[in-house]
Amino acid sequence: KSNNLKGYAPICLGLEDFYTRRLYLRIQDCFGRPIASAPDAWFDVVERYSNDSNKTLHCTTKTSKCLNLGSYNYLGFAAADEYCTPHVIQSLKKYSASTCSVRVDGGNTKLHMELEELVARFVGKPAAIIFGMGYVTNSAIIPALVGKGGLIISDSLNHNSIVNGARGSGASVQVFQHNNPAQLEDVLREQIAAGQHRTHRPWKKIIVIVEGIYSMEGELCKLPEIIAVCKKYKAYTYLDEAHSIGAVGKTGRGVCELLGVDPANIDIMMGTFTKSFGSCGGYIAASKEIIRHLKRTCPAHIYATSMSPPAVQQVISAIKVVLGEDGSNRGAKKLAQIRENSNFFRSELQKMGFEVLGDDDSPVMPIMLYNPAKIPAFSRECLRQHVAVVTVAFPATPLLLARARICISASHSREDLIKGLEVISKVGDLVGIKYFPVEHEKS
């Protein structure tokens, strides 16, 4: 209960599901109605105003235009673009929206081949393979790389697609403490010793899986230290760059570029096209042998309809803009802008007294709410003031570590950011989440 939330202080109940034995939360308002039936607290159906860059989205629940601080539209490509959109329309006319075929049976266009070559060149690996969905890229590729007799060591905060891929692989799975190379080393040492005592033979292979930028933490991976540990214990490295490729690094090449890591030191580089490139799908970039193996064996390549050609074209065009191959310097400007926007927004939030997670340069900025009961009030008040922010809670985060997650885009203007900051500051006072209050000088 909180005085300044009078009227709609939500109540949070922990319930256990009888069948799955899982604990879940029911958040209800003070009248006992589930919060899900309080439509003004969430934005659900989103509409874009044509040619209106990243700035606005339409929340049907409120029928009002909102500043979008929640989408992964890091470089602003998820909007009509002077270079990408005409090419995408052309590809739609030429190839239609779907190949209606799998890659190996008539679903392979020149565009698919071009994108694989472009991705390999962009991330600095010899070859690449693309998939129609980022989630499936992890959940289907991990089992194609490692199975029974193998060992996966996964960061404790890895994305659900990695968790599912690891579970479905049949390999043994161990988790190491989030972004903690020393603890990874302990796990590796223990597991290698255990592997040596296995009755038949030691682990066939060991894969360590990490993310470039953690999507709920906004934090950069301690990649150089993790690579050093993996090399010492001869483990393969798998890096998910869903939130970092195109978003960080001087030329947009992700955490490797930002942290000065040679991509040759990473065995498997994974990423999605759904964030920086404004499309859908995902990729794996690796050695020619690994990609050949995946093309021959991965069911999601052999049995799934290939990626939609216009979606492929969107990624090709967006990467060309980032590389400056569209004949302009818009890509470089976007990259400089997202860095400037992210660092400005993060430092302003911190100055206001919020607890903000993550590192400099990261466009992902979680503001800690802690108590999940604060979620609906925070979300509702932001929407009321025309700012759409994503809030996340259990099971995506631990139970008492609920947060609002801001995603910054290169296409946010300085006025957008200032408006967002003003609203978040007011709502932060109302909901009581400025955990580091700024000391005002006594006059």
- Give min distance, CB of 216 to ligand PMP, in A: 8
- Give min distance, CB of 257 to ligand PMP, in A: 18
Check binding of 244 to ligand PMP (CB under 6 A). no
Q: How far are the Cα atoms of 130, 134, 291, 341, 404 from residue 297, in angstroms, in the given order?
A: 14, 18, 10, 43, 40
Check binding of 272 to ligand PMP (CB under 6 A). yes
Phi and psi angles of residue 273, each rounded to the nearest 5 degrees, phi first: -100, 5
Distance CA 130, CA 134 (A): 9
Pair of tokens at residue 116: 């694989």
Check binding of 219 to ligand PMP (CB under 6 A). no
- Give min distance, CB of 73 to ligand PMP, in A: 12
- Give min distance, CB of 248 to ligand PMP, in A: 14
Residues 140-199 that bind ligand PMP (CB under 6 A): 159, 161
Q: Which helix (H) or strand (E) holds 57?
A: strand 56-59
Check binding of 35 to ligand PMP (CB under 6 A). no
Q: How many residues bind ligand PMP (CB under 6 A)?
A: 14
DSSP state, residue 434:
-
Query: Interface with ligand PMP by CB under 6 A: which range of 8-16, 53-61, 224-232, 236-244?
Result: 236-244
Nearer to ligand PMP, 163 or 399 (CB): 163
> Helices 330-352 and 414-431, interaxial angle, to 10°?
30
Nearer to ligand PMP, 59 or 284 (CB): 284
Name the nearest CA neighbour of 276 among 163, 389, 366, 407: 407
Nearer to ligand PMP, 112 or 159 (CB): 159
Per the CB < 8 A criterion, the answer to whether 62 and 397 are in contact is no
Select the residue interacting with ligand PMP from 28, 91, 191, 274 (CB under 6 A): 274
Q: Which helix (H) or strand (E) holds 64?
A: strand 64-68
Select the residue interacting with ligand PMP from 81, 116, 155, 211 (CB under 6 A): 211
Nearer to ligand PMP, 377 or 390 (CB): 390
Query: Interface with ligand PMP by CB under 6 A: which range of 202-210, 222-230, 239-247, 357-365?
Result: 239-247
> Of all residues in this chain, which one has the CB nearest to ligand PMP in the complex?
134
| Residue corresponding to tokens 């266009």 | 109
Check binding of 99 to ligand PMP (CB under 6 A). no
Name the nearest CA neighbour of 78 among 363, 310, 314, 308: 314
Residues 109-138 that bind ligand PMP (CB under 6 A): 133-135, 138
Distance CA 73, CA 148 (A): 38
Residues 352-391 that bind ligand PMP (CB under 6 A): none
Pair of tokens at residue 155: 């960061």
Nearer to ligand PMP, 322 or 427 (CB): 322
Per the CB < 8 A criterion, the answer to whether 331 and 321 are in contact is yes
Name the nearest CA neighbour of 291 among 135, 176, 130, 174: 130
CA end-to-end span of the chain: 34
- Give min distance, CB of 237 to ligand PMP, in A: 15
Q: Which residues bind ligand PMP (CB under 6 A)?
A: 133-135, 138, 159, 161, 211, 215, 240, 242-243, 272, 274, 282
